[in-house]
Structure 1
Amino acid sequence: MSTDASNEIRLAAESAASRAAETAADVPGQEPGNQSSPRRKGLSERDRPLWMLIPGGFLMIIIIVVPLVLGIYMSALDLDQYTLRKWISSPFIGVENFVEAVTASPLLNAVWLSVSYSLIAMVVTLPLGIAAAVATQNAFKGRAVIRSVFLIPYVLPSFVVATVWRTMFQPEGIIDRALGTFGIDAGLWLNGPQSFWTLVLVQIWASWPFIYLLALSGLQAVDHEVHEASALDGALWWNKLRYVVFPYLKGPLALAFLIGMLHHINNFTLPFVLFGVPAPADVEVLPILTYVTSFQSFRFGLSAAMAFISLVLIAIPLFIYLRAVKLDDAESPGAKK
């Protein structure tokens, strides 16, 4: 082979290699010399969703985690009005505040009052909310007005509701006068044993629209074809409610029951404005007791222990509900094992 032919072959090979290198450089995600493997994304781009959680996580730490840690630390101190100025150097007493809260304070009675009044209120509001939702589900003239009226107790602030009812329950107030026309002497509503039932009554009036809203949302999920099939089969209204409507309300009502219970147990504004402080012993619920212990008795360490105990009591039903929801999702058809 001649020298000229060899040079031409060598130049053609070099030109082909150069064009192949330029083509590889132009392909995105592919490096020259390694044409078979695509270029990996950078770490910041791959973890970008995690970086976007930083602002919300920072706020959660400041608003939730830091006060929780401080509250737990305060519950282990003998913190009162004498040691508050230098509370970091207050005497460390460990679990003595928790022992005193359980054994030597009315904490257990406050827990019983909170749970019992919340449970009674929820048992009454559940059928009321369901009945109102069923009554206003189908279209009729004036339905929008009735739905708006039903929501009035729910949209009013708690202190407004408590103030109005406190005025109505005053001696010689509108309720006493209305009962007096029938010859009924109701006695004191805001003091004594009747104060417990006054709190239950006001809580029922203020909270039943919440059950109504969730029940109404559950009714909207019922397929119209199911209603038509039950009507063609000649199902009575009670059987229709029991076997067609109520299964759709199981999830929303369970959620409403849990949220309502937790809200009632933590409700401070309603009993505080309705009865004042110090509240009668029959309505000294857990938030009121914690407030009185902290800002009237100035036992800040003891009140922090009470607050932590109430947090644990609230977390128990919440954990049970979340666990039940997780099990239901796992057992549902098509769920990932």
Structure 2
Amino acid sequence: MSSEIAGDTLRDEESHPAGRPRVPKNKKRSGVTERDRPLWLLAPGGFLITVIILVPLVLALYMSVIDLDQYTLRKWLSTPFIGIENFVEAITKTELLRSIWISVSFAVIATVVTVPLGVAAAVVTQNPYRGRAVVRAVFLVPYVLPSFVVATVWRTMLQPDGIVNNILHGAGIDPGLWLNGPMSYWTLIFVEIWAAWPFVYLLALAGLQSVDHEVHEAAAIDGALWWRKLREVIFPYLRGPVSLAFLLGTLNHINNFTLPFVLFGAPAPADVNVLPILVYVTSFQSFRFGLSAAMAVVSLILIAIPLFIYLRAVKLDVSEDGGKK
């Protein structure tokens, strides 16, 4: 019996050398573990998302169901609850539906034009040639300029006595008013296209960088013409970036407030009274904060629909690829 006790003591001393404290096996380590460390690293971003996105979203939802205006703002916590009356009024008694139609149509037209322009520019600047760096820099000029600068420059150029009308008058053309009336809608589309197409160009150029050089060599050896090479080699690699550019471009056009606000002012002409301008005027000029919050919630739902469709399509695509593997 004593020999067994001595053997156990010897093994304990070998496994725990002198000077090193014994740690029970069932004792848990204090502090952040390896498993919890990613959550702590995400904590700052989660805090910012909560403060910047979630809290304003909750406040907007609450404001949309109360009768909040300039008279009840001081005691907004005790403002009467009116349910969906703000939404009913926004749909039936305001220009909300017309603004939605203007925003969506303008966004779709701008995206349909900018996507081919961006892809064509990316294809043109993909292969190296003399002066390519200068061409790429010029293509990025509309993208690096702030929206208010772009809108201010075009507003100055499109004035009745601006440079655009002077050039057209010199050519014997009477253009009319660019910033008011029916022409204002197409002015907004044109300026938005000019400012937005480099974003598609960057995404398409990034997608072209992923095309394997061996694929280009194989297509050249097989004698593929340039159109077939674009269709069979390049375009399949651009499906993901172009789809993302189409979605982000459309949502950005719908949400663009700075460009139409600076270009046309507020309240904007009826033909360019886009949804962000309508919400701004309702809130900060009419002081109907509850009504404007209801409009903002409607715009959020409008944006969430294509975003959900895109995310669903991406998820299905990834699932199919995983199933094939």
Q: Which residue of 107, 124, 147 corresponds with 1:158?
A: 147
Once residues 335 and 20 of structure 1 are traced to their aligned partners in structure 2, the CA distance between those partners, rounded to angstroms, is 55
1:167-187, CA deviations, whole angstroms, 9 ceiling, x for partnerless residues?
000002111111122211000
Once residues 267 and 151 of structure 1 are traced to their aligned partners in structure 2, the CA distance between those partners, rounded to angstroms, is 19
3-state SS in 1 of match to 2:72: coil
Q: Percent identity?
A: 68
Q: Quick one: structure 1 residues 39 and 26, their matched pair in 2 at CA, closer, same or farther if it must change by over 3 Å?
A: farther
With the length of structure 1 as denominator, give the TM-score of the two structures.
0.91
- Tell me if the contact between 1:125 and 1:208 (Cα under 8 Å) persists in the aligned partners: yes
Q: Quick one: structure 1 residues 73 and 225, their matched pair in 2 at CA, closer, same or farther if it must change by over 3 Å?
A: same
Q: Which residue of 80, 101, 106 corresponds with 2:90?
A: 101
Q: Quick one: structure 1 residues 49 and 281, their matched pair in 2 at CA, closer, same or farther if it must change by over 3 Å?
A: same
- Tell me if the contact between 1:169 and 1:189 (Cα under 8 Å) persists in the aligned partners: yes
- Tell me if the contact between 1:24 and 1:31 (Cα under 8 Å) persists in the aligned partners: no
Once residues 190 and 52 of structure 2 are traced to their aligned partners in structure 1, the CA distance between those partners, rounded to angstroms, is 34
The letter for the 2-side match of 1:21 is D
Displacement, 1:255?
A: 0.4
Q: Within the alignment, does 1:20 sit opposite 2:11 as a pair?
A: yes
**Residue matched to 2:311:** 322
**Residue matched to 2:193:** 204
Once residues 317 and 122 of structure 2 are traced to their aligned partners in structure 1, the CA distance between those partners, rounded to angstroms, is 26
Once residues 90 and 131 of structure 2 are traced to their aligned partners in structure 1, the CA distance between those partners, rounded to angstroms, is 54
The letter for the 2-side match of 1:234 is G
Displacement, 1:333?
A: 4.3
The letter for the 2-side match of 1:65 is L
The letter for the 2-side match of 1:123 is V
Once residues 321 and 17 of structure 1 are traced to their aligned partners in structure 2, the CA distance between those partners, rounded to angstroms, is 65
Q: Which residue of 69, 80, 91 corresponds with 2:80?
A: 91
Once residues 128 and 48 of structure 1 are traced to their aligned partners in structure 2, the CA distance between those partners, rounded to angstroms, is 45
Q: Which residue of 212, 231, 236 corresponds with 1:242?
A: 231
Once residues 52 and 77 of structure 1 are traced to their aligned partners in structure 2, the CA distance between those partners, rounded to angstroms, is 38
Q: Within the alignment, does 1:283 sit opposite 2:260 as a pair?
A: no
Displacement, 1:69?
A: 0.7
**Residue matched to 2:172:** 183
The letter for the 2-side match of 1:308 is V
**Residue matched to 1:5:** none
Q: Quick one: structure 1 residues 178 and 58, their matched pair in 2 at CA, closer, same or farther if it must change by over 3 Å?
A: same
**Residue matched to 1:306:** 295
Deviates more, 1:125-134 or 1:46-55: 46-55
**Residue matched to 1:60:** 49
1:200-227, CA deviations, whole angstroms, 9 ceiling, x for partnerless residues?
0000000010111111111111111111
Q: How many residues were matched structurally? A: 323
Q: Quick one: structure 1 residues 335 and 22, their matched pair in 2 at CA, closer, same or farther if it must change by over 3 Å?
A: farther
**Residue matched to 1:3:** none
Once residues 108 and 258 of structure 1 are traced to their aligned partners in structure 2, the CA distance between those partners, rounded to angstroms, is 22
CA radius of gyration, larger in: 1
Q: Quick one: structure 1 residues 93 and 225, their matched pair in 2 at CA, closer, same or farther if it must change by over 3 Å?
A: same
Q: Quick one: structure 1 residues 316 and 43, their matched pair in 2 at CA, closer, same or farther if it must change by over 3 Å?
A: farther
Displacement, 1:100?
A: 0.7
**Residue matched to 2:133:** 144
Q: Which residue of 129, 142, 154 corresponds with 2:118?
A: 129
3-state SS in 2 of match to 1:277: coil
With the length of structure 2 as denominator, give the TM-score of the two structures.
0.94
Q: Quick one: structure 1 residues 88 and 40, their matched pair in 2 at CA, closer, same or farther if it must change by over 3 Å?
A: closer
Ranked by relative contact order (alpha carbons within 8 Å, sequence separation 6 or more), the top structure is: 2
1:3-29, CA deviations, whole angstroms, 9 ceiling, x for partnerless residues?
xxxxxx83x44332211122344599x
The letter for the 1-side match of 2:287 is F
Once residues 311 and 17 of structure 2 are traced to their aligned partners in structure 1, the CA distance between those partners, rounded to angstroms, is 52
3-state SS in 2 of match to 1:85: coil
**Residue matched to 2:281:** 292
**Residue matched to 1:261:** 250
**Residue matched to 1:4:** none
Once residues 315 and 272 of structure 1 are traced to their aligned partners in structure 2, the CA distance between those partners, rounded to angstroms, is 24
Displacement, 1:49?
A: 2.1
